[in-house]
Amino acid sequence: MQKSRREFAKKTAIVTAGAAVAAGTSVLAATGESVQSDSNNGVVLGSSRKKEILYKKTATWEEYYKNAK
């Protein structure tokens, strides 16, 4: 009894995943648009005036970089 429940759950999950993939593919095909059609290659450009700081030179980072070599 327990084994048949597990088999049923497995088959249901596989069928559901397959249906979701098929539906997503058909929606993309119906719209005729590609995911890569952006001129920015999917990068969203914001309008923030703040300067983006990616790295601040600190003693902790210096120690990290010294040990990482």
Alpha helices in 32-58 (DSSP H): none
Measure the CA–CA gap between 36 and 40, rounded to whole angstroms: 9
Structure tokens at 37: 């059609």
* Res 60: pLDDT: 93
Task: Spell out the per-residue pLDDT of the chain, length 69, in tens.
Answer: 667 888 888 888 888 887 777 667 665 566 655 555 557 777 888 888 888 888 889 999 999 989 997
Alpha helices in 1-69 (DSSP H): 2-31, 59-68
Measure the CA–CA gap between 67 and 69, rounded to whole angstroms: 6
- Dihedral angle, C-alpha 50, 54, 58, 61, nearest 10 °: 160
